[in-house]
Structure 1
Amino acid sequence: MSRLTELLRQVRKADPQLGADLEAEITALTKRRTFGLVFEQHQPEAVELPGRPVRRGDKVRVLPPRGETKGGDQRLWRVTRIERVDRQRVAHLAELGAEEPATQAVLADDVVVVAEFRDRIYPGLVETGRVERGGDKPFHTVINAENYHALEMLTYTHRHSIDAIYIDPPYNTGAKDWKYNNDYVASDDDYRHSKWLAFMERRLKIARELLKPDDSVLVVTIDEKEYLRLGLLLEQTFPEANMQMVTSSIKPSGSQRGDEFSRVEEFIFFVMFGEANPATSTTDMLRDADGDAKLATVTWQGLRRRGSTDWKRAHRPNGFYPLFISYEDGAIHSVGEPIPLSQDRYSVTSPEGTWAAWPLDPKGEEGRWQVSPARLREQLAEGTAALRKADHDAGTASVVYLKGGDLAAVRSGAFEINGRDAEGKLNIVPTALATRKAKTMWLMPSHDASAHGTALLSRFLPSRKFPFPKSLYAVEDTLRFFVKDKPEAVVLDFFSGSGTTAHAVMRLNRQDGGRRQCISVTNNEVSADEQAGLSRRGLRPGDADWEALGICDYITKPRLTAAICGQTPECAPIKGDYKFTDEFPMSEGFEENAAFFTLTYEAPLSVRHNRAFERVAPMLWLRAGSRGRIINDLGEDGWDVADSYGVLENLDQADEFVAAVGAREGIEIAYVVTDDDSAFQMVCRELPNGVLPVRLYESYLQNFEINTGRSL
């Protein structure tokens, strides 16, 4: 531009008007020029959906004959009609995008449905198994799906509710490490980088819709092949965020690069939104922590619910119960049970020698306790709750207790306990508190991907191979910086591979008693080496023997099952111990729950007419927090209430449904199936405060009719 400026100066001297005109045109041209990262954003992307039943109107490809290893016909066809011939389904096809479309008729089993990224989808989920060892903890979930479509599904269940996204996307090395349009991208592909950037941008744009804008983090790991382009893409996609890059040593022995330097590191981009920032640590990740340490302790909270909302007896009737106080020594004699909302508290008879204390505010208005009677009895017995004082004249008591991270820390043994005080509370001895800020160069032996990724995974799946798994402890450390003080954080990994992120979240939960949950998304592709052999055997994607060797079914689900249960798929105890932050035998497993799903593609008409409820049902459960059972069937009554949500279809039973929702603690969402707006509003008015009403299937259909992520 400096040379052009000089020429303009000379022109203005010779002809001021010509100089002014040229300057105006150049200024206009400059405004139209694209600055920053430039790539072919409109690179077409499509994904094949084996196993999806073929319907009239579908977009499909014709598969090669069974036993053929070469790629088949890549043209796209539209299914114009389907007929039955000799008990077989025959699809009649018309070619797409041709001036003179060809037509043909083929067996429906010989075509595969194709979805392009611009195509609107209506997703569902089918559960394929679960592991339950975590009591009432939320479930970790694994979703077998193309991740772009899984992200679209999550815009309905988790919009702006994800605390952290950790992804390890394809590194685009050119060595058959990822597919685009159902084909591996080679190193000599002229559009290799544009394809990768277009692929990433589409997914990142939907990820934005899932992250909490006021406090969340996106973590992306990458090697030297794409880190420069990725950095620019992240800056352009999330201009409002604070971004840093960390260099982390992950293979001290080095990865050979031909005649180049041997690579030992990877790069980690941290994209921080709102108030998100890395927590302090006991190490700076470059060298061991030293110097003086501050002290950490716990905060005792009041048991009676306070605040401007959700504190009254009517809000949570199960939180209104008596504490029976002894006349003799003023201690808690016992904890009573909740009484119905219609029952007067004065009608409750106290055990002999006691009087009843209730959760009353200073004005005498009936409130509620913050935990259930069973939970309070447990905490009183262990010393994590205690009576501070009781007022017989006012009929109330002041009780303190530990909750959340403080309770988890005490139960996990993070503090030294020195008996109890006069009130019966545990005497908790303060401990050293992490005070160091991590540096942007990490040299942690625990992050060695060979020792703590590949070798560790082989303990859980002894006879199964997965290329380049991350170090479990590297992912654990990375996440800890942002979810350390969020014991109920929701973490998402939509390139989950072997499931390391979910495994790391389980480790974090064990360390502080947290209830964090991880959503893992992975497809069920088989490796490039295995594909040819399976094809020669006459198998195709969608066949049971092919799918059994896919990443999700062969690696991810078995690894997380083994981690929870402490046993290999062959039912042998896992050998070895976890290391570093929390050392214990791997055979102990984890007190966690996990559920496994496969994404389905539904017809909107079936959804609207309530004929796809079983596939939509897991999405309702996910949106309500992934706790307890899934409501799969509404039965004869036309309604049901589970651990965290309820579903009402039969509006004639609305009174019974509302009563059941109000009587159960922890209900967050009520789904109401109706096309009648006035009927929906009637149910809304009757629901307890704090319960979110959601109209089915209006909310579902509207969500997937929005052009989420398709603006490219």
Structure 2
Amino acid sequence: MIEEKLSNVTAARQFGEVVFPGLRTVGSVRTGNTEDPAHVVINGENFHALEMLGYTHSESVDLIYIDPPYNTGNKTWQYNDHYVGEQDSFRHSKWLSFMERRLTLAKKLLKPTGVIIVAIGDEEHHRLRILMDEIFGDQNFLANLVWDGGTKSYASYVSSGQDYMLVYSKNSAALTEQGVQWRETKPDLAVVLDTAARLFKSSGEDAELAGEQFRDWLKKSDLSPGIKRFNQIEATTGRVFNADRDLGAPEKRPNRSFTPLLHPVTGLECPVPSNGWRLSETELLARLSAGRIAFGATESKIPREKSYLDEASMQIPGAVFQRDRSAASIYLNQILGDKRFPFPKDHNVLMRWIRLAAPKDAVILDFFGGSGTTAEAVIRLNAEDQGTRQCILVTNNELSAKDDAALRKAGHGPGSEEYEAKGVFHHVTKPRVETVVTGVRQDGSTYSDGLPANVEFLELAYLEESRVHAALEYDSLAPLFWLKSGAVGTVVQRTDDSAYEWNEESSLAVLFDAGKAAELAEVLATKQNRVKHVFIITDSPEQGDLAGESFGDEITVEPIYGSYLDAFQINRSDS
């Protein structure tokens, strides 16, 4: 149920204190196309990370999925560095305050067509619904999804294994304007079509015999009623269809056609619906010519229109779905080689809803990243359909209460190598994503053939304003600029006292000497590279504007550090 334990503070900075965030690389894996955006996994406090993403991804995220603490009263989340227990009379208000601050920041990151999905349990479901109505607007509520994960044998009253996912859009009107509709392939569609094709072939293309065998197979199957309706096989093509679509008009009108159709075997006229045909005579004859009209055994029955299964392959997703939750724990243990994390989310469930709710080139954010399920789901989806989705996942490096106590007792406190190695980022999230991508576990054993993806592992850093002013923190800011420019290729590093830097793989360049703007522009034009974003290191707005004139309209130019310092005075007491 819970993807991550969260602390509301970090030892590095307190809330209300002015901080300037940066990012430091702590590893990467690269097996994917260099032109695709890299996935980003960030170790850091998620409130500060959301503030940071406000600079890099304002109104740029297509989908947010989060699985926050469920506030069950167990030792599963903290508020002001203390576990919130069941007996705490303020635990619900503390949880709401905790969530409100993060959801308010998250909303600013969504595109107008963006969607947020929040997993939650019974304990806070009703409160979360009211909170999200307040933040996102009740007019933007899309769905209350119910995940039936299996019954509980230890319940005192009712055996309930349901969790929920509340779904909101940032602006439902924008979704409507874009014509967005969520559709998914009917389950077992391929099995049904393959079975019909096999029976048609084995019967010597005898549609009547194949149809009887096909209907017998359908009766014995546990397929949905909707797909079982398609129970006939077409004689000329072997296609699966049903003939239950009425051709009669709903009401009489003077312009309705009443021309009878002739039975293809007897040649006699078939009955006409009492209100006439719902199609014009031209349309009706066109469908007859195309073989899309089904007749009875004799001319006594009114003809009906055929619906083909391969043309009705999509369906609207239902609000209730079933999947045993225990499968996700077993699956994660197989990836890591041992048990390290309780109650991970199911990547198959996330893949389904990401596929429905976001385009194939979407930016997807999870700021309660936990074991890294969302990152794996996005990586697997891209491998499945050649998408270029990018996942930005934020988690912290907290330890379980048990590991925390054991390590402290052994003399290893926060900050020590032994202690940090057991945190969720280093012990679960990072090794999971690395194993999924490379196919090799931490211990060197083989898990799989791996998947094509580029992933950058980063750590949230807190910078001093004076060091930023003195241009001493470029290494910690470079990943931030890379992330803002699309995270394509690798982070642009500075060598010695170079006037500018760029590389063949990245979509950005960094100009350290504003006086060399024309030279850099010429280099970029000559190389015909894919640089779309130039950062100019200067504290002078005038100097930055002048340097920016050297670059064409196709390149976004941003002078820094001035803009950085203005944008990143996060956590201000007056905000």
TM-score (norm 1): 0.60
Residue in structure 2 matched with residue 175 of structure 1 by the alignment: 74
Could you tell me which residue of structure 2 aligns to residue 623 of structure 1? 484
Partner of 1:672 in structure 2? 536
Q: For 2:551, give the aligned amino acid.
A: L
Answer whether contact 2:19 2:570 (CA < 8 A) is retained.
no
Asked if structure 2 preserves the Cα contact closer than 8 Å seen for 1:282 and 1:433, the reply is: no
Q: 2:547 corresponds to which residue? A: 683
CA contact (8 A) 1:646 1:667 kept: yes
Deviations 1:570-619 (A, max 9, x none): 22222xxxxxxxxxxxx121110111011110011211221111001100
| Deviations 1:95-116, CA, capped at 9 Å, x for gaps | xxxxxxxxxxxxxxxxxx4412
Q: Give the 3 Å change call, closer, same or farther, for CA 612–699 of structure 1 in structure 2.
A: same
Q: Which residue number corresponds to residue 474 of structure 1? A: 349
Q: Of the candidates 218, 241, 253, which is equivalent to residue 116 of structure 2? A: 218
Structure 1, 629-638 or 500-509: larger mean CA deviation: 629-638
1:450 aligns to 2:326 (yes or no): yes
User: Secondary structure in 2 aligned to 1:686?
Assistant: coil
Measured in 1, the distance between the counterparts of 2:469 and 2:94 equals: 36
**Structure 2 equivalent of residue 135 of structure 1:** 33
Alignment-derived partner of residue 142 in structure 2:
244
> Residues 434 and 649 of structure 1: is their aligned pair in 2 closer, same or farther, counting only changes over 3 Å?
farther
In the alignment, which residue of structure 1 is the partner of 2:450? Answer: 589
Once the two structures are TM-superposed, the CA of residue 438 in structure 1 deviates from its matched residue by 1.1
CA distance in 2, matches of 1:219, 1:172: 18
Return the alpha-carbon distance in structure 2 between the equivalents of residues 224 and 156 of structure 1: 35
Displacement after TM superposition at 1:240 (Å): 6.8
CA contact (8 A) 2:545 2:559 kept: no
Q: Deviations over 1:205-264 (max 9, x none)?
A: 11011111x211000010101000000000001117521333433422x23564132222
Q: Residue 700 in 1 paired to residue 569 in 2?
A: no
Which one has more relative contact order, counting CA pairs under 8 Å at least 6 apart?
2
> Which residue of 503, 508, 519 corresponds with 2:381?
508
User: Per the alignment, do residues 654 and 292 of structure 1 end up closer, same or farther by CA in structure 2, a change over 3 Å counting?
Assistant: farther
Partner of 2:22: 124
User: In the alignment, is the contact (CA less than 8 A) between 1:152 and 1:708 conserved in 2?
Assistant: no
Q: Which of the numbers 424, 437, 456 marks the counterpart of 2:316?
A: 437
Deviation sequence 1:276-311 (CA, Å, 0-9, x none): 355211238994752679xxxxxxxxxxxxxxxxxx
Q: Which runs of 5+ in 1 are unaligned?
A: 1-44, 50-112, 294-429, 575-586
CA distance in 2: counterparts of 1:225 and 1:190, whole angstroms? 14
CA contact (8 A) 1:283 1:438 kept: no
Which residue identity lines up with residue 449 of structure 1 in the other structure?
R
Asked if the contact 1:141–1:597 (Cα under 8 Å) also holds between the matched residues in 2, the reply is: yes
Supply the AA of the counterpart residue of 1:264: G
CA separation of 1:255/1:602 partners in 2, compared to 1, >3 Å: closer, same or farther? Answer: farther
- Which residue does 2:515 correspond to in 1? 652
**Whole-Å Cα distance in 2 between the matches of residues 709 and 215 of structure 1?**
31
Q: What is the DSSP-based 3-state SS (H/G/I as helix, E as strand, rest coil) of the residue aligned with 2:381?
A: helix
644-653 vs 499-508, greater mean Cα deviation: 644-653
Residues in 2 aligned to 1:273 and 1:288: alpha-carbon distance in whole angstroms = 35
Aligned to 2:415: 542
| Cα contact 1:284–1:439 (8 A) shared by 2 | no
Instruction: Please give the alpha-carbon distance, in whole angstroms, between the structure 1 residues aligned to 2:224 and 2:75.
Output: 37
- SS of the residue corresponding to residue 520 of structure 1 reads strand
Conservation of the 8 A alpha-carbon contact between 1:157 and 1:623: yes
Shift of 1:564: 0.5
Q: Label 1:688 to 1:250 Cα distance change in 2 as closer, same or farther (>3 A).
A: same
Q: Distance in 1 between matches of 2:351 and 2:226?
A: 18
Question: TM-score, with normalisation over the residues of structure 2?
Answer: 0.74
Rounded Cα–Cα distance in structure 2 between residues aligned with 1:480 and 1:682 = 44
Change (3 A) 1:624 1:271: same
Query: CA–CA distance in 2 between the matches of 1:472 and 1:633?
Result: 38
Pairing of 1:224-623 with structure 2 (within 5 A): 224-239=122-137, 242-252=140-150, 254-255=151-152, 258-274=155-171, 275-276=174-175, 277-283=180-186, 287=224, 290=227, 434-443=313-322, 447-451=323-327, 453-483=328-358, 486-574=359-447, 587-623=448-484
1:621/1:630 contact within 8 Å kept: yes
Tell me the SS of whatever aligns to 1:126: strand
The one-letter code of the counterpart of 1:471 is D
Q: Is the 8 A contact 1:472 1:501 kept in 2?
A: yes
Q: Give the corresponding residue for 1:635.
A: 496
CA distance in 2, matches of 1:142, 1:596: 5
* Structure 1 position 191 matched with structure 2 position 64: no
For residues 572 and 169 of structure 2, the distance between their equivalents in structure 1, rounded to whole angstroms, comes to 22
Name the stretch that deviates more: 235-244 or 191-200. 235-244
One-letter amino acid of the counterpart of residue 517, structure 2: A
How far apart are residue 678 of structure 1 and its match? 2.5
SS in 2 for 1:152: helix
CA distance in 2, matches of 1:572, 1:677: 54
Deviation digits for residues 617-665 of structure 1, max 9, x if unmatched? Answer: 1000000111111112153332112320010011232222112233333
The letter for the 1-side match of 2:149 is K
Tell me the CA shift for residue 541 of structure 1: 1.1
Q: Are the equivalent residues in 1 in contact too, given 2:145–2:167 (CA < 8 A)?
A: no
- Contact persistence 2:19–2:571 (CA under 8 A): no
Residue 337 of structure 2 aligns to which amino acid in structure 1? P
Q: Supply the AA of the counterpart residue of 1:646.
A: A
**Contact 1:241–1:272, Cα closer than 8 Å, also in 2:** no
1:695 CA drift (Å): 0.9
Q: 1:636 to 1:494 in 2, by over 3 A?
A: same
The letter of the residue matching 1:704 is: F
Aligned residue for 2:163, secondary structure, equals strand
Structure 2 CA distance for aligned equivalents of residues 685 and 292 of structure 1: 63
Q: 1:601 to 1:179 in 2, by over 3 A?
A: same
Deviation of residue 172 (structure 1)? Answer: 0.3
Give the superposition deviation at 1:482.
1.3
SS of the aligned residue for 2:542 comes to: helix
* Conservation of the 8 A alpha-carbon contact between 2:143 and 2:319: yes
Gaps of 5+ in 2: 1-6, 189-222, 232-308
Taking a change above 3 Å as real, the CA distance of residues 619 and 473 of structure 1, as seen in their structure-2 partners, is same
Deviations 1:153-199 (A, max 9, x none): 11111111011000000000011011111111100001100000000
- What's the CA shift for 1:676? 2.4
Match of 2:59 among 160, 163, 166: 160
Q: Would you say how many aligned residue pairs link Structure 1 and Structure 2?
A: 447
CA contact (8 A) 2:17 2:572 kept: no
Greater shift, 223-232 or 663-672, is seen at 663-672
CA distance in 2, matches of 1:459, 1:46: 31
Q: 1:519 to 1:256 in 2, by over 3 A?
A: farther
Residues in 2 aligned to 1:434 and 1:175: alpha-carbon distance in whole angstroms: 45
CA contact (8 A) 1:242 1:273 kept: yes
1:671–1:696: 8 Å Cα contact kept in structure 2?
yes
SS of corresponding position for 1:163: strand
Alpha-carbon distance, 1:686 to partner? 1.4
**Could you tell me whether the CA contact under 8 Å between 2:19 and 2:463 is conserved in 1?**
yes
Check whether the contact 2:23–2:461 (CA below 8 A) recurs between aligned residues.
Answer: yes
Q: Distance in 1 between matches of 2:225 and 2:440?
A: 34
Residue 710 of structure 1, CA deviation: 7.1
